[in-house]
Structure 1
Amino acid sequence: MAGRSPRAHEMGAFLRSRRTRLTPGEVGLPDGGVRRTPGLRREEVARLAGVSEGYYVRLEQGRAPHPSASVLGALARTLRLSADEREHLFALAGEAGPEPERAPLATGAHRMLELLSPPTAAYVINGRSDVLAWNDTAAALFGHLVEGTRPPNNVRYVFTDPGARDLFVDWPAIAADSVAHLRAAAGHRPDDAELAELIARLHEVSPDFRRLWAARGLRHKTGGRKELNHPVAGRMSLEYTVLAAPVDAGQRLVAYTAAPGSASHAALTRLGEPS
């Protein structure tokens, strides 16, 4: 519909996706027999959230007045949103300001990478998943980290480089996490032209990306484990940690390590040694 802002359009689609995944029983309503479409009806969501049906319909259509924080909270509770999903809804409504992000990476972030204890592999990433800086061990671990006319991008790598499917043992989980992080970034910066271009390009070239993007998953991971089949070092099991970079809002430091004395630690050490 003409005149809808990107935020309003995406908020409507997000509400619709969360409404259709719920069953009446999950929100305390009688089942009522077979339904023609999955999920709750719009009028049921409106009633449970304490808003008029017409207003909720306009929210899903992207043409309602700016919702208040109390309305957003009621919708989040009604739709059983997770903490990440609630944050995303508020961001789409403009209740959380866009993440400021300066283009150049300050010298301090490069220095921070240098101070990490070897053989840690680390890089600094922005909200679009552009990799802005990395150390030598990270470059040896992830082959796409090379200088070029544009920053390497982790999501583009996952969906367009065949080497990513060989490297990540559980590629489907990595792909889902990558899209979930990008979806969260889009909620904070729906007017980011570079982000929109990246999403459009991945839609064109990757059916897997299109499927995962349509699911509107959201995930903010601060750490975990990744299993790799590295072409040189072989099978590796690495722990990773994600920290906010103390340089620019929206940038994160991602560091990969392995338990000292383990085969993965030895392999990571060899990768970080000068060739």
Structure 2
Amino acid sequence: MRGRERVESVRRSTRASELGAFLRSRRTLLRPGEVGLPAEGARRTSGLRREEMARLAGVSEGYYVRLEQGRAPHPSPSVLGALARALRLSDAERDHLFALAEEVRPESGPEVLASGARRMLELLAPPTAAYVIDRRSDVLVWNDSAAALFGHLVDGPRRPNNVRYVFTDPRAKELFVDWADIASDSVAHLRAAAGHRPDDPELNALVAELHEASPEFRRLWPTRELRRKVSGRKELNHPTAGRMSLDYEVLHAPQAPGQRLVAYTAPPGTPSHSALGGYPSRCGK
């Protein structure tokens, strides 16, 4: 087998294995009663049996077993849709399943900041704190308000990464009042990225690094939980500004698949808005 063919074979195998692991993780979360099946007999493991899952999805048991083992032929869109319905997947989980099954060439090298993403950042009115992240949660660009809120953006020797910050920087646990929820969100975002690029060497290196460094990450990563949050509120305990309650919005950057702008604001007249207003919002990197 020539080098290019060998690389392609490994890539397909990686995707198939991850797809199988994802199916297995979601099957074990379902209870028979949730899908109209009687809970009869002793079950050695939690969740549905493989034969039950195959029956619900309308595929043969042998084919479903091979899917979970990463040995089945590439599933068709109709099979993926049937699996998603049978597993009661959320929209984010369904997207993840289809992403794992697609033949998408992985990106190579550092991601380039799209001009549209930078323009979105520059258009934000002060005192909004904002930054742009890529699929791996690398922070590509930020404004000064964001740098004042999140110290890791400016004090490291390499490109800042939000997931690395959450799990390896002690300041993160001090800053985020609801750190456990932030940690779960961070892993869910990274897991979704793995669905689009399961053979991305930089992503895999980051996951390996976090496995080594953080027991919390090691516990959360195998759950394969996915979340899609486009807005919400975060409570911060800032070392100089004190307690802050900030609303956030997540916007997809135009013409930049995978890049997202995250903006933090507070209602005018509130102490949190006044604290943000103390920082200039000049774009920096």
Is TM more than 0.5 here? yes
User: Which TM bucket (shorter chain)?
Assistant: over 0.9
- Which residue among 35, 39, 42 is the counterpart of 1:34? 42
CA distance in 1, matches of 2:157, 2:255: 23
Name the SS for the 1:6 alignment partner.
Answer: helix
Name the SS for the 1:271 alignment partner.
Answer: coil
**How is 1:121-136 mapped onto 2 (pairs within 5 angstroms)?**
121-136=129-144
TM-score normalised by structure 2 residue count: 0.90
CA distance in 2, matches of 1:100, 1:249: 11
Given that 1:98 and 1:188 are in contact with CA atoms closer than 8 Å, whether structure 2 keeps it comes out as: no
Match of 2:4 in 1: none
**1:100 Cα deviation from its structure 2 partner:** 6.2
Cα distance change, pair 6–149 in 1 and its aligned pair in 2 (3 A): same
**1:113 Cα deviation from its structure 2 partner:** 2.1
Q: Could you say what the CA RMSD is over the residues aligned between the two structures, in angstroms? A: 2.0
1:180 aligns with 2:188: yes
Given that 1:19 and 1:45 are in contact with CA atoms closer than 8 Å, whether structure 2 keeps it comes out as: yes
Match of 1:139 in 2: 147
Match of 2:170 in 1: 162
1:259 aligns with 2:267: yes
Name the SS for the 1:36 alignment partner.
Answer: coil
5+ residue gaps, structure 2 = 1-8
**1:6 Cα deviation from its structure 2 partner:** 1.1
TM-score normalised by structure 1 residue count: 0.94
Match of 2:207 in 1: 199
Match of 2:75 in 1: 67
1:46 aligns with 2:32: no
> Which stretch of structure 1 is more off in the superposition, 247-256 or 122-131?
247-256
Name the SS for the 1:5 alignment partner.
Answer: helix
Name the SS for the 1:44 alignment partner.
Answer: helix
Given that 2:126 and 2:281 are in contact with CA atoms closer than 8 Å, whether structure 1 keeps it comes out as: no
Aligned length: 272
CA distance in 2, matches of 1:99, 1:176: 25
CA distance in 2, matches of 1:264, 1:181: 27
Match of 2:235 in 1: 227
CA distance in 2, matches of 1:18, 1:247: 32
CA distance in 2, matches of 1:110, 1:85: 29
Name the SS for the 2:226 alignment partner.
Answer: coil
Q: Name the aligned partner's letter for residue 59 of structure 1.
A: L
1:94 aligns with 2:107: no
- Which residue among 2, 7, 26 is the counterpart of 2:15? 7
Name the SS for the 2:136 alignment partner.
Answer: coil
CA distance in 2, matches of 1:68, 1:166: 47
Name the SS for the 1:272 alignment partner.
Answer: coil
**1:35 Cα deviation from its structure 2 partner:** 1.3
CA distance in 1, matches of 2:96, 2:120: 30
Name the SS for the 1:15 alignment partner.
Answer: helix
**1:228 Cα deviation from its structure 2 partner:** 0.1
**1:13 Cα deviation from its structure 2 partner:** 0.6
Q: Name the aligned partner's letter for residue 196 of structure 2.
A: H
